[in-house]
Amino acid sequence: MGERARFDERLATIARELLHEPDVQHTVQRVVEAAATHLGSEVFASVSLVKKRRRVETPASSDDRALRADQLQYDLAEGPCLDAIWEQETFQIDDMTTDERYPRWTRAVVEQTGLRSSLSLQLFTNREQNSLGALNLYSTRPGMFDSDVRGDAMAFAAQAAIAVSSAATEEHLRSAMSTRTVIGQAQGILIERFKITPNQAFTVLSRLSTDSNVKLHEVARRLVETGEVPQQQ
C-alpha cells in the first residue's frame, strides 16, 4: 500500500473516531493529538474556536508552544490563525525569521517558543457557514509545510470541521433538551401547588424571569432545586 493510500486510510479511521467523541472539548483535543501524530513528527497542533462576540480562544493544543503561539496572536491582534478564521483562507509561513506580514507576532513567537514555520487552515463545513475556527500547525523547522503536508493538512482540517460542527450541534441540542426538561419540571411544581394550567405556569415563570432579570431556565432551575417560588420585585 502506498503512502497516499495509508494516509487516506488513517484519515478515514480518525474521521470515524472524531464523530464518536462525547463533546466539543473532547473532539478538539482528539483533533490536535491526531494532527500532531499523523502530519509529521515535528508538527505541533492547536485548534482555535470562535466563541460569542467573535472572541477567539484555544481550547486544545498538542504542545504548550502551539498554545503560546496562539495566545500571542490574540494578545497582539495579528497572526495567520486570525486571518485564516476571518478571511476564509489558508495562511502559511515558511520561516518566521524572514516573514514580514506579522512582524510583532513572528518576533515574539521565535523568541518565546523557538517555532519557525506555521500553517493555519480555517475550519468550515461550507462557504456559506460562519467560520468555526482554525486548525493551526507549527514546527521548529523552517519550511516544514511543503505541498504534500499542506494537502494532507487540508484534508484533515475538512474532517475536523465536520466533527467539531457535529459535536457543537449535539451539545446545543442536549442543552436545549435539558432546559426544556427543567422548565417543564418547574411548571409541574406551580401547577400542583397553585392549581393552575400549564400555560399559566409558564406565564408565571416568564414574569419572574423578566422581573428579576434572570434567565427563564435559571428561574426554573432554582424553583426545581429549592421548591421555593422566587419573590417578584
Residues 86-136 have pLDDT tens digits of: 987 899 999 999 999 999 999 999 999 999 999 999 998 665 567 789 999
pLDDT in tens, 142-182: 999 999 899 989 988 888 888 888 887 777 777 778 888 88
Residues 114 and 141: beta-carbon distance below 8 Å: no
Query: CB-hemisphere CA count at 13 Å for 36?
Result: 19
231 inside domain: no
C-alpha 152/C-alpha 166 separation (Å) is 22
In terms of domains, do 156 and 178 share one?
no
Estimate the share of the chain in helix, then strand, then coil, as percent rounded to the nearest 5: 60, 15, 25
Number of domains in the chain: 2
Residue 44: DSSP 8-state = E
pLDDT in tens, 20-61: 777 888 888 988 999 998 888 899 999 999 988 788 999 999
Task: Tell me: pLDDT of 210 over 60.
Answer: yes
208 inside domain: yes
pLDDT in tens, 192-201: 888 999 888 8
**Cβ within 8 Å of residue 159, ≥6 positions away:** 11, 14, 15, 18
In terms of domains, do 44 and 153 share one?
yes
SS3 for 83-125 is HHHHHCCEEEECCCCCCCCCHHHHHHHHHHHCCCEEEEEEECC
CATH number at residue 66: 3.30.450.40
CATH number at residue 183: 1.10.10.10
Local confidence band at 80 (pLDDT 50, 70, 90 cut-offs) = very high
In terms of domains, do 126 and 21 share one?
yes
- Domain, as residue range, for 136: 3-168
In terms of domains, do 125 and 178 share one?
no
Coil, helix or strand for 1? coil
Cell of 223: 424553583
Given 119, 149, 168, which residue is the final one in a domain? 168
